[in-house]
Amino acid sequence: MSKAILALEDGTVFEGRSFGAPVQTGGEVVFNTSITGYQEVFTDPSYAGQIVVLTYPQIGNYGANHEDNEARRPFIEGLIVREFSPLASNWRSEEEANRFLGKNGIPIAAGIDTRALVRHLRSRGVMRGTLSGAGGDPRELVERARSIPSMTGLDLATRVTTAQPYDWVEGVDACSPSELVGAAAEARYHVVAYDYGIKRNILRRLRHVGARVTVVPAGTAAEDVLALKPDGIFLSNGPGDPEPLARQIGEVRKLIGRKPIFGICLGQQLLALAFGGKTFKLKFGHRGANHPVLNRVTNKVEITSHNHGFAVDPDSLDANQIELTHFNLNDDTLEGFRHRSEPVFCVQYHPEAAPGPHDSHYLFDDFIKLIEECKR
């Protein structure tokens, strides 16, 4: 079996066994602590430009299938695991995870001491890295890692967005193909969703609570969105640094006060910037399915799913206009806010829960209630 090499920009090198595509790739090396849901991680567009380390030790054991894809293809740059299973054992499996990633040109390094790697990233911060599935000179790989563009200042949302608008028609009776739920509500309202890297389970969840959903590209003008006569507007998750998205921020600013708005992840960051706030890069980000978040409105703790490397500076928001509603109990970072007079609210985490717990599904119901209130 071929050797796989991960070389970090600080000169640290890890060696393992190669699976997936025998190619060389690069990106920001980050880690995710989820126990299940690796295929949803692979196909989440928010991971564009990143090599993902999964802390759960055995990956690939239940294979892959087309229904669990969160987007049209995997978006991770590479995968780092402790143990990778070349075999799949699950009644829903359609192919081995090794083949799924390999045919999409994504290298895998297995046999890596992921505990040591994650401790390194936690202490020094996430950093650029090169992953080679075909061996190579570690010194050259380190130099290549140092030449990779930094995530700070990088616009990735426009790379992963849809090229054309489309109507979402799937997921009428289920919010995830692997999860049985009640019947979907009647589609009473029209929601236009900006695709900055949107996940399919977000679209399923919107559809399930009673929305007819039209998805539009990230750069769509506010006037064109309003011409679709939406009842509400959704701002999706997505990869990269929010601050370079000047055009998107400007269009969001034009929509505030015109229609009810709900934002998730990058959507929250764009709303904060549209309100004159600031964002900053976290040392190693939040990526996992068990992050505790305090909802200050209900005074309840929600266990939530996360995938982000940037956060909103709460002190940069005008307290006379913005109510801070959710905070992360691990590091006290801002996880949600709402406008005091306009129909706008958002969260930093992923309430669609793919993968993850369902504690925050209520937010989609809250969006529909907000739309109903504004139509009275």
**How far is CA 169 from each of CA 2, 20, 172, 173, 297, rounded to the nearest angstrom?**
43, 33, 7, 11, 33
Q: How many CB atoms lie within 10 A of CB 3?
A: 15
Catalytic residue check, 350: yes
**Secondary structure (H, E, C), 161-219:** CCCCCEEECCCCCCCECCECCCCCCCCCEEEEEEECCCCHHHHHHHHHCCEEEEEEECC
Angle at the Cα of 77 from the Cα atoms of 238 and 160, rounded to 5 degrees:
35
C-beta of residue 138 within 8 angstroms of C-beta of residue 13: yes
SS3 370: helix
Distance of CA 190 to the CA centre of its chain: 24
Strands 24-32 and 50-54: parallel
Residues in the chain: 376
Tokens read off for 314: 């709460």
What is the DSSP secondary structure assignment for residue 76, as one 8-state letter? -
The CA-based dihedral angle spanning residues 145, 283, 306, 263, taken in that order and rounded to the nearest 10 degrees: -100
Q: Rounded to an integer, what distance in angstroms lies between the CA atom of residue 209 and that of residue 262?
A: 14
List the helix and strand counts (H, then E) for the chain.
10, 19
Q: Write down the catalytic residue from 77, 96, 265, 339.
A: 265
Catalytic residue check, 352: yes
Q: Provide CB contacts within 8 A for 353, sequence distance 6+.
A: 201, 289, 305, 360, 361
Q: Computed from CA positions of residues 105, 216, 237, 313, in that sequence, does the dihedral angle turn out positive or negative? A: positive
Beta bridge partners of 211: 189
Task: Return the active site residues.
Answer: 265, 350, 352
